[in-house]
């Protein structure tokens, strides 16, 4: 009996030990960047976890220096991310509604075909997208980028939202239909309000994507005043890794902080949407 008690105490202690180690590993890099962003000097080598002469110079530089385009990048990123999120939610929920509730030619295989096609690595297709935007005169424009984002997200997110719609009883639609509701009414008044969690997921996916993507905008957006945060910051540090690290750290903290806060506060929605959409689907 005493041995069993001891064993259970030990296993609990071990549990806490593992969790604490895990938490330290998770937090350390984050604290290290914050430390770096406050460290005086510019190089990666001078940055420490707790800087001796902490300074906000790097943050000030981002906003005040004439050499810094940080504010422009931030505005561009927010613009692209929010337009893309709204557009994607509209396209995806509409398409998913059709896939969930109607029978039509190509219902069974079209979405699966596109999902499979997207397994092809995206890098090579970027050459083609570059040419396409060039022909449409949309190179170096935010709309060109948004169009590609909004198109590329359709298969996966439609599949996710369709799975969620499938869990909403069809009896609801049929009842509404008998009461004389049109296709659009059923969609906007019945399905959309019930599907709020998955809509939050799709919105967030499509907001976060452009916030953090760097490969595509780097190819599409050529002039510095049109670039996004990820591209700007990456190019900013790419040439002289050691020299600008603390400035990069300050810039990253200001991106990561809002993203992390939004993310952590909405993650419950996120998970419930993902599991409902994917597993029950």
Partner 1 sequence: MEAEIRTTAGSWGKRKTAACLSALSMGLGQMYNKQWLKGILLLILQFSYLVVFFDLFNIGLWGIVTLGEIPHEDHSIELLAKGIISILLIFIGLLFYGLNIRDAYQVGAMREKGIRPPGIWETYRTVTDKGFPYLVIAPAMLLLVFVVLFPIMFMVLLAFTNYDLYHQPPVKLVDWVGLDNFVNFFRLDMWKNSFVSVFSWTVVWTLMSTTVQIAIGLFLAVLINQKRVKFKKFIRTVLILPWAVPPFVSCIVFAGMFNDNFGPVNQMLNDLGFASIPWLTDPFWCKVAILLIQFWLGFPFSLALYTGVLQAIPSDLYEAAQVDGATVWQKFRHITLPMALYATAPLLIVQYAGNFNNFNVIYLFNKGGPAVPEQTAGGTDILISWVYKLTFVTFKYNYAAAISIIIGLIVTVLALIQFRNTRSFKEEGLIQ
- CB atoms under 10 Å from CB of 178, counted, come to 8
Q: Token pair of 211, please?
A: 């916030």
Binds partner 1 (CB under 8 A): choice among 41, 125, 139, 194: 125
| Cα of 76 vs its chain's centroid, Å | 16
Q: Token pair of 140, please?
A: 């170096």
Q: Token pair of 61, please?
A: 């530089």
256 contacts partner 1 (rule: CB under 8 A): yes
Closest approach of partner 1 to the CB of residue 66, in Å: 25
Q: Token pair of 157, please?
A: 């997110």
Segment interacting with partner 1, rule: CB under 8 A, options 40-48, 54-62, 78-86, 191-199 = 40-48
Cβ distance to partner 1 smaller for residue 33 or 66: 33
Report 51-90 residues binding partner 1 (CB under 8 A). none
- CB atoms under 10 Å from CB of 128, counted, come to 9
Cβ distance to partner 1 smaller for residue 224 or 258: 258
4 contacts partner 1 (rule: CB under 8 A): no
Cβ distance to partner 1 smaller for residue 32 or 61: 32
CB 146 within 8 A of CB 87: yes
Cβ distance to partner 1 smaller for residue 177 or 196: 177
Q: Which residues contact 192 (CB under 8 A, 6 or more apart)?
A: 93, 199
Hey, is 221 helix, strand or coil? coil
Segment interacting with partner 1, rule: CB under 8 A, options 12-20, 50-58, 67-75, 192-200 = 12-20
Our CA angle for 265, 63, 85, nearest 5°, is 40
Closest approach of partner 1 to the CB of residue 215, in Å: 7
Cβ distance to partner 1 smaller for residue 53 or 109: 109
Report 191-230 residues binding partner 1 (CB under 8 A). 208, 211-212, 214-215, 230
Report 165-184 residues binding partner 1 (CB under 8 A). 166, 170, 173-174, 177, 183
Computed on alpha carbons and rounded to an integer, the radius of gyration of the chain in Å comes to 24
The number of residues that bind partner 1 (CB under 8 A) is 101
Binds partner 1 (CB under 8 A): choice among 2, 135, 178, 193: 135
Cβ distance to partner 1 smaller for residue 158 or 227: 158
Hey, is 273 helix, strand or coil? helix
Buried residues in 131-166 as b, exposed as e (16+ CB within 10 A) = eebeeeebbbebebbbbbbbebbbbbbbbbbbbbbb
Cβ distance to partner 1 smaller for residue 12 or 71: 12
User: Of 214, 221, 202, 91, whose CA–CA distance to 143 is shortest?
Assistant: 221
143 contacts partner 1 (rule: CB under 8 A): no
């Amino acid at each position: 009996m005493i041995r069993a008690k001891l064993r259970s105490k030990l296993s609990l202690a071990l549990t806490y030990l593992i969790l604490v180690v895990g938490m330290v590993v998770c937090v350390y890099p984050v604290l290290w960047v914050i430390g770096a962003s406050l460290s005086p000097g510019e190089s990666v080598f001078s940055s420490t976890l707790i800087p001796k002469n902490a300074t906000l110079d790097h943050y000030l530089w981002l906003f005040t220096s004439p050499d810094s385009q940080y504010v422009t990048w931030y505005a561009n990123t927010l613009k692209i991310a929010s337009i893309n999120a709204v557009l994607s939610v509209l396209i995806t929920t509409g398409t998913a509604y059709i896939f969930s509730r109607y029978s039509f030619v190509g219902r069974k295989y079209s979405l699966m075909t596109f999902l499979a096609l997207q397994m092809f690595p995206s890098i090579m297709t970027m050459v083609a997208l570059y040419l396409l935007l060039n022909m449409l005169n949309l190179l170096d424009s935010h709309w060109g980028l948004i169009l590609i984002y909004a198109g590329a997200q359709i298969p996966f997110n439609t599949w996710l939202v369709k799975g969620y719609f499938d869990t909403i009883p069809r009896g609801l639609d049929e009842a509404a239909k008998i009461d004389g509701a049109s296709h659009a009414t059923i969609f906007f008044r019945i399905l959309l309000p019930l599907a709020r969690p998955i809509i939050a997921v799709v919105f967030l996916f499509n907001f976060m994507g452009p916030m953090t993507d760097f490969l595509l905008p780097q190819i599409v957006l050529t002039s510095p005043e049109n670039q996004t945060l990820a591209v700007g910051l990456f190019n900013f540090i790419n040439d002289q890794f050691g020299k600008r690290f603390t400035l990069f750290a300050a810039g990253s903290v200001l991106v990561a902080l809002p993203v992390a806060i939004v993310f952590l506060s909405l993650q419950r929605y996120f998970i419930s949407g993902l599991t409902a959409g994917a597993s029950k689907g």
